[in-house]
Amino acid sequence: MSRLSIITPDYAQTVVENLYKDVERRITASPPGICPIDISNAFLKMCHAQTCGKCVPCRVGLTQLSSLIDDVLDGNATLEHISLIEKTARVIKNTADCAIGYEAANMVLRGVIGFRDDYTEHILNRRCRFNIYQPVPCVALCPAGVDIPGYIALVNDGRCADAVRLIRKDNPFPTACAFVCEHPCEARCRRNMIDDSINIRALKRYAVDHSGIVQAPENAPSTGKKIAIIGGGPSGLSAAYYLSLMGHHAEVFEKRDKLGGMLRYGIPSYRLPRERLQEDIDCILSTGITVHTGIEIGRDITIPQLKDDFDCIYIAIGAHNDKKIGIEGEDKRGVISAVEMLRSIGDNTLPDFTKKRVVVVGGGNVAMDCTRSAKRLGAESVTCVYRRRRVDMTALPEEVEGAESEGCDILCLQSPVKISGDEDGNVTSIWIQPQIAGEIDKSGRPRPVNAKAEPIRLACDIVIAAVGQGIEIQPFEEFGVKVKRGVIDTLASNEVTNIDGVFAGGDCVTGPATVIRAIAAGKVAAANIDEYLGFNHIISTDVDVPLPRLDVKPACGRMNTKERSAGERNTDFNLIETGLTEEEALVESGRCLRCDHYGYGIFKGGRVDKW
Amino acid sequence: MVNLTIDNIPVEVNENTTILEAARLAGINIPTLCFLKDINEIAACRVCIVEIDGMDRLISSCNNSVREGMVVYTNSPRVREARRINVELILSQHNTSCAYCPRSGNCTLQKIANDLGIYKIPYKNIIPKTLWSHRAILKRDASKCIKCMRCIQICDKVQTLHIWDIDGTGSRTTVDVSHNRMIMDSDCSLCGQCITHCPVGALSARDDIGKFYDALADSEKTVVVQVAPAVRAAWGEELGISREQATMGKITAALKRMGVDYVFDTDFSADLTIMEEGNELLKRLSEGEHKYPMFTSCCPGWVRFMKSQFPEMVGCLSTSKSPQQMFGAILKTYYAGLIGVPADRLYFVSIMPCVAKKKEASLSTMNSAGTGQDVDLVLTTREFVQIIRSEHISVDHLSEIPCDQPIVTSSGAGVIFGTTGGVMEAALRTAYAVAEGHNPEPDAFREIRGEGGIREAVFTIGGRDLHVAAASGLGNARKLVKAVKSGKAHYDFVEIMACPGGCSGGGGQPIKDGSELYGIRGSELYNLDKNSEIRYSHENPAIVSLYENYLEKPLSERSEQLLHTDHTAWEMPLAPDDI
C-alpha cells in the first residue's frame, strides 16, 4: 500500500465524462414544445442520481418528489399533490445540506410556480397544454420562419437562385441576413446532438454569393389600396415588399437620405458591404414601391395627412435616439453617441480619429461596431469599457474576439463615473470605477457593484457612448399612438392598440432588437394589413425542395467561416468575413439532418409552404 | 427508370418510386402498419424497415425512394430482429385483450404479430388508461391506440376538421381531441372516417347491438327495420359472399331469421326525399335568383359540418329530412295505421353505412309522430354483420325474400342515394319530369357521376340552365362552400356527402385496411339502378299511393310537418377560431 497514489480516471469514468458532454449538447438541441413538467422531472431524476445519499431531504425527498410528479404526469394525482410537491420541495430547499439537494428542490419549486397551469391541466383533465406546433428547430427559432432545411437542401443541390427565392418567401433581406443575422436558428439545431450546429448563416451567404440576380416574383393584380410606411429600414421595407406582392401600393417615407435603416446607419460596412445591402433593396423596390427620402414625420408631413391619403399606415421608425450614459462631463467636446458616429459613417462622412485615444462605453454589438470602426478610423488606441463581466456582454462572442484581435482593448467590470476635460471643454479622460460581480439580477446576469477600490483615470480624447437607443416617439405620441415603457404599444398582430388602421412593428415596438425580428414584424404587419383591408392574399413560392438523400451522416466538424487577417483588415472598412468555398458549402449543407422530413417534420409542420 | 435489387431480385421502376412500392411490384410484400398511401407516410411504426447496402442504419421503405444501384434486403438478420422488436414494443403498450376486441380478426397489428409468430414479448406490458365519455358515439380506447396518427391525418387532410391532435409529449405522447376538448364539445362531424382508417380497435362507433336484442325480446314491441342503399353494396365483404350474392333479398331474409317483424328498404324513403327535395328545388328556382345554391341535407355528417364550420350558411340547406328520418316520421304515422300497430309499440331500427346517423336519430327535432324518436335505433353495417355472425346465420343458404307489404317497391333512383352524385341524379330525374311534363332518359344526368372529389355540370331543365355540383369528403365540401361564398363558383343545386365516395365509403361500413372500396361499392349501386324496373322516384307506386292517400302532394302542409325539419333547432359546437 503506497502512502499516496496518482489518481487516473478508469474507463467507466471516462465514458461518463463523455456522456455529460453528450447530455450538454442534447440539452442545447432540446426541441420546442416539450411538456415542462415531464422535462423537469427528467432533470430531477438526474439530480437525484447525483445525490451522495447522506442526508434525508435529498436522498428520500427527491425520490418522493419525483414519484409525486410521476403521479401528476400519469393522471393519478389530485390537486392536493401540488401543495404537497410545493411543501416538500420547500423543505428540501431549506434543509438539504448541499447544493445537490437544495438546487434540485429549487428547480421543482420554480416549476410549480412557473407552469402551475400545466400541473392543473394534467391533474384535472389528464391533458398537457404543450404541443409541438413547429417541429423544425431552426424554423421554430427563426422569427421570420424562414424555410431553412429547404434552402440548405437547395444549396446542396447547387440551386442557389432557388434558395434565394425560397428565403424571400419569408424574408426579403436574404443578402443582409447572410452577412449580419444573429442566427437564432442555429441555437437548437438538432445536429448539436451529434456534433455541432449547422453553420446556417454561412450557407445563406453561399446562396446569395452564387445566385446571381434573382428577380422578385410577380405582384398580384392591383387592389387599388395604398399603404403609407413610415421608416425605410428592414421592417418597413419587408412590409412594403409583401404588400406590393399582394397587389397593394406601398409608399415608404424615410427620414434619412438613403434606405436601409440600421442596416445602413447602424452596421459598419466591414460586416455588411453597402453594395450588398443595395442588392436586397433593389429587389424590394423592383416590386413597384414608391419611396420618399428625406421626409420627417411631424416636420414635412403629418400623420393625419397620411391617415387621409392612405388606407393604412405602418410605423416602423426603429430606435435611433441616443441614450446618455448619465455621468458628469457628458457634454464635453469629444463625447459622441454611437448612433451619431455610425450614422455619419453610413452617410459616408467618416470621422477622423487619427492619433486619437478612444474609449467606447457599452457591451453590446453596437459598442463592438463602434470599437472596431474607431480602430479603422485611425485611432491610436481603442478601449471598450464595460461594467459587467465579459461573459455577460450582449455582443456576439465573435465580435468581441474580432475587436480584440484587431488591437482593441476590452476592459470589463469597470463602470464609468465621470468625464474630465481641459479648460476648452475638450475631453481629456474618463474615470472608471472597478466593479465586482454581485447577485444575479432579472436578466440572469450578476449585477455589477462598486468594488472597494478607487476610481481609475483613463486618459482619452474621444468617448463614444454605446449604451442603448431610444425611440423618437414624439410626433406619434402627439397623434395619439399609445406608448408604453418608451415603445409603441401594439397587439401581437402589430395593430396599434388604440387607433384603427395603424400598425407598428420592429425596433420601435420591441426596443432595439435584431434585424430578423424587424423583418418578421414587417411580414406579420403585411399579412394583417392585407386582412384588415379585406383581402386574403397568399404568399408562396413554386420552388420545390429536393427530397433528402439517404446518406450516412457520421459526426464531423462544422465548417466555420474564415476572416481576413486582423492586421490587414483593421485599417479599412472592407468586408472581413470570407464565404464558404464550394467544397465547404457542400459538406456543410450535407450535414443538415433534414428535420423537415425526418422525425415529426414529415408528420406535421415540416414545411410551411405559404402564409 | 431506376434499376435496383430487392432481396437479390433485379427490379426496374420509375424514379421517385418508394422502396415499399418497388418491392410490391417485385412481388415482395413488406409488412406495414402505420402506412396509409398518400395520407400517412410518416414512417412512425418502423415495421416496414429494410436494410440497404452501405447504410449504417435501417431505412423505412414506405417513405424513402429508390436510387440507382440500390441493394435492398427486406429480410436480412438485422431487419428480422428490428421488425420483430418494434412490433414487440408496440404490443408492450397495447391492450392485447384480442378475444373481445371489435377488430379481432380484422386488426393489422394482430395480423403482423401473428405473421411474425410472436407468442410472447420480453417487455413489461404498460397500458395507457382510457378516459372517454360513455355517452359519446365516437369511442376511443387509448389502451388500444398504437399512435400511428392515421386518425389525425385523415381528419386533417381529407376531412379538414382537425378533430384529432397529438396530446402530451415525450413517452406519454398520445392522440386525443384537439385543443384539449372533450369529443362531445368538439365540432366532430361523426363521419367515422377515423374509425374506418384505424388499423386496430382504438376507434369505434358506439355498440348498440344490445338494444336491438332487447327490442327483439320485448313482446310488446313490433320491430321494424329499414336498410339503407349502401349497406347492400358492402355487407357481404366480411361474410365471404360476392357482391352479386349479397342482395337486399338476403338481408331481408337474415333480418327475418333474427325475428324482425317488418323489413323495409330505405330506397323507398330516398324516393320520398327526392319528391320533397326535388320540388323544394323547383320552388326555390321559381322564386328567382339566389345568391347561394340549395344544398342537400340527407347526410347528417355534412349537416353537422355546415352547422359548425359555416353556421351563416345553414339556411341554404334543404329543409327536407334525410331518408332515414322521413321513413321514421311516415312509419310512425301513416304506416302504423296501415299495418295496424300503434306507433308507440313500433320499434324502428335503421341499418346504415354511417356513424352520424346514430346522432341524427337522437336529435330532439326527430320526433314528428309524437311517440318518442321516429327512429329508435341505428345500427351500422358493421353491427349488422356482427349480428349475423353471432346469430350464426349462414348467408350462403339464405333464400331471397322481398320487403314487407305495404312498401314492396323502390326505384333505381333511390338505390343510387348510396353513392356520391346519386342524390343529385335522382333529384334531377324527377325535377326534369315535373318541369318538362315527361321523363328524361334515365341516364341523362350521368355526367355528375365519377371519381373526382368535386364534380360540376350544367343541365337544361324547364328552359333554364341548371348549374349543379356534387362533392364528397368534407375537405372537398369546405373547398366548394368557400368557392361559393367568395363568388368564385355559382351553382343552383349542390349535393354533398361527408364521406369520400358518399355512403358507399361511409364510416359505418366494413373495414378493409389499406383499401378504399367506395368505388367498387358505388358501381354496384349503379348496376342495381340500371337493372331496376323503376328508374324514377315519382313512379314508385308506393310513393304515388302515399301522396294520394295521405300526404296529398310534395310540400303540402302535412309533408312540411312530417318530412321537413329546422336545422337551426338544435345546437352544434362551432369550429374553434383558429381553423
Q: Do residues A92 and A207 share a domain?
A: no
> What pLDDT score was predicted for residue A497?
80
Is residue B281 a contact partner of residue B553, using CB atoms and an 8 Å limit? no
Q: CA-to-CA distance for B450 and B503, rounded, in angstroms? A: 14
Nearest to B172 among A73, A549, A603 (CB): A73
Chain B CA closest to residue A37: B169
For chains A and B, what is the number of CB pairs under 8 angstroms? 55
Nearest to B42 among A75, A127, A602 (CB): A602
Q: CA-to-CA distance for A39 and A26, rounded, in angstroms? A: 12
Whether A552 maps to a domain, the answer reads yes
What are the E-state strand segments in B25-118?
Answer: 49-52, 59-60, 71-73
CATH number of domain containing A81: 1.20.1440.230
Reading the block at residue A600, the C-alpha cell is: 415529426
Whether A382 maps to a domain, the answer reads yes
> What pLDDT score was predicted for residue B578?
56
pLDDT per residue rounded down to tens, chain B (579 residues): 999 999 999 999 999 899 999 999 999 999 999 999 999 999 999 999 999 998 888 999 999 999 999 999 999 999 999 999 999 999 999 999 999 999 999 999 999 999 999 999 999 998 988 889 888 999 999 999 999 999 999 999 999 999 999 988 888 889 999 998 999 999 999 999 999 999 999 999 999 999 999 999 999 999 999 999 999 999 999 998 998 899 999 999 999 999 999 999 999 999 999 999 999 998 998 888 888 999 999 999 999 999 999 999 999 999 999 999 999 999 999 999 999 999 999 999 999 999 999 999 999 999 988 889 999 999 999 999 999 999 999 999 999 999 988 888 889 999 999 999 999 999 999 999 988 899 999 998 998 998 789 999 999 988 889 999 999 999 999 999 999 998 899 999 999 999 999 999 999 999 999 999 999 999 999 999 999 889 999 999 999 999 999 999 999 999 999 999 999 999 999 998 754
Whether A11 maps to a domain, the answer reads no
CA quadruple B492, B497, B501, B504: dihedral positive or negative? negative
Q: Nearest 5°: phi and psi at A457?
A: -100, 130
Q: Inspect the interface and report whether the beta carbons of B169 and A602 lie closer than 8 Å.
A: no
Q: What percent of chain A has pLDDT over 70?
A: 100
Which residues in chain A have their CB less than 8 angstroms from residue B170's CB?
Answer: 34-35, 38-39
Q: Inspect the interface and report whether the beta carbons of B172 and A34 lie closer than 8 Å.
A: no
Q: What percent of chain A has pLDDT over 90?
A: 69
Chain B CA closest to residue A535: B486
Q: CA-to-CA distance for A136 and A133, rounded, in angstroms? A: 9
pLDDT digits (tens, 9 = 90+) for A199-245: 999 999 999 999 999 999 999 999 999 999 999 999 999 999 999 99
CATH number of domain containing A556: 1.10.1060
ipTM of the complex: 0.80
pLDDT of A134 over the 80 cut: no
Whether A14 maps to a domain, the answer reads no
pLDDT of A485 over the 90 cut: no
B129 at A interface, C-beta within 8 A: yes
Nearest one of A438, A428, A342, A337 to A387, comparing CA atoms:
A438
Chain B, residues 158-217, CB within 8 A of chain A, namely 165-170, 172, 176, 180
Question: Higher-confidence residue: A534 or B169?
Answer: A534
Angle between helices B422-436 and B266-286 (to 10 degrees): 60
Which residues in chain A have their CB less than 8 angstroms from residue B129's CB?
Answer: 75
Q: Do residues A338 and A455 share a domain?
A: yes
Nearest to A127 among B59, B65, B176 (CB): B176
Q: Last residue of some domain: A125, A150, A178?
A: A125
Q: Inspect the interface and report whether the beta carbons of B166 and A131 lie closer than 8 Å.
A: yes
The distance from CA A209 to its chain's CA centroid, rounded to whole angstroms, is 23
Please name the residues in contact with B542: beta carbons below 8 A apart, sequence gap of 6 or more.
B268, B271, B406, B407, B408, B409, B410
Q: Inspect the interface and report whether the beta carbons of B169 and A125 lie closer than 8 Å.
A: no
Q: Do residues A458 and A477 share a domain?
A: no
Please name the residues in contact with B99: beta carbons below 8 A apart, sequence gap of 6 or more.
none
Residue with cell 324496373: B533
Chain B CA closest to residue A554: B56
Which residues in chain B have their CB less than 8 angstroms from residue A39's CB?
Answer: 170
CATH number of domain containing A327: 3.50.50.60
Burial of B273 (0-12, 13-18, 19+ CB in 10 A): buried
Chain B CA closest to residue A70: B172
Which residues in chain B have their CB less than 8 angstroms from residue A131's CB?
Answer: 165-167, 169
pLDDT digits (tens, 9 = 90+) for A65-86: 999 999 999 989 999 999 999 9
Is residue B255 a contact partner of residue B231, using CB atoms and an 8 Å limit? no
Q: Residue A186: which domain range?
A: 137-213+544-602
Reported pTM:
0.88
Chain B CA closest to residue A36: B169
Chain A CA closest to residue B61: A550
What are the E-state strand segments in A491-575?
Answer: 502-504, 562-563
Question: Which amino acid type is present at position A279?
Answer: E
Which residues in chain A have their CB less than 8 angstroms from residue B56's CB?
Answer: 552
Q: Do residues A459 and A327 share a domain?
A: yes
Question: Which amino acid type is present at position B367?
Answer: N
pLDDT digits (tens, 9 = 90+) for B429-485: 999 998 889 999 999 899 899 878 999 999 998 888 999 999 999 999 999 999 999
The distance from CA B398 to its chain's CA centroid, rounded to whole angstroms, is 27
> What pLDDT score was predicted for residue A1?
66
Tally of structural domains, chain A = 4
Query: CA B20, B22, B25: angle at the middle one, nearest 5?
Result: 110
Task: Assign A146 a pLDDT band (cuts: 50, 70, 90).
Answer: very high
Q: Do residues A297 and A170 share a domain?
A: no
Q: Last residue of some domain: A103, A125, A147?
A: A125
Which residues in chain B have their CB less than 8 angstroms from residue A130's CB?
Answer: 169
Whether A237 maps to a domain, the answer reads yes
Q: Do residues A329 and A413 share a domain?
A: yes
Whether A273 maps to a domain, the answer reads yes
**Domain map (residue ranges) of chain B:** 2-90, 138-206, 218-563
Is residue B235 a contact partner of residue B198, using CB atoms and an 8 Å limit? no
- The CATH number given to B138-206 is 3.30.70.20
Q: Do residues A559 and A518 share a domain?
A: no
- Residue A34 Cα, gap to closest chain B Cα (Å): 6
Q: Do residues A496 and A563 share a domain?
A: no
Reading the block at residue A438, the C-alpha cell is: 454581485
Which residues in chain B have their CB less than 8 angstroms from residue A132's CB?
Answer: 166, 169
Which residues in chain B have their CB less than 8 angstroms from residue A38's CB?
Answer: 169-170, 172
Which residues in chain B have their CB less than 8 angstroms from residue A547's CB?
Answer: 16, 65
Q: Do residues A301 and A360 share a domain?
A: no
Whether A164 maps to a domain, the answer reads yes
Q: Which architecture does CATH list for B2-90?
A: Roll (3.10)
Is residue A230 a contact partner of residue A317, using CB atoms and an 8 Å limit? yes
A34 at B interface, C-beta within 8 A: yes
Chain B, residues 442-501, CB within 8 A of chain A, namely none
Q: Inspect the interface and report whether the beta carbons of A128 and B169 lie closer than 8 Å.
A: yes
Please name the residues in contact with B98: beta carbons below 8 A apart, sequence gap of 6 or more.
B104, B107, B110
Superfamily of domain B218-563: Fe-only Hydrogenase (Larger Subunit); Chain L, domain 3 (3.40.950.10)
Q: Inspect the interface and report whether the beta carbons of A552 and B63 lie closer than 8 Å.
A: no
pLDDT digits (tens, 9 = 90+) for A429-452: 999 999 999 999 888 899 999 999
Whether A27 maps to a domain, the answer reads no
Task: Assign A491 a pLDDT band (cuts: 50, 70, 90).
Answer: confident
Q: Nearest 5°: phi and psi at A229?
A: -120, 120
pLDDT digits (tens, 9 = 90+) for A233-284: 999 999 999 999 999 999 999 999 999 999 999 999 999 999 999 999 999 9
Chain B CA closest to residue A32: B169
B63 at A interface, C-beta within 8 A: yes
A121 at B interface, C-beta within 8 A: yes
Q: What is the mean pLDDT of residues A502-506?
A: 93
Q: Inspect the interface and report whether the beta carbons of B165 and A131 lie closer than 8 Å.
A: yes
CA quadruple A405, A409, A410, A413: dihedral positive or negative? positive
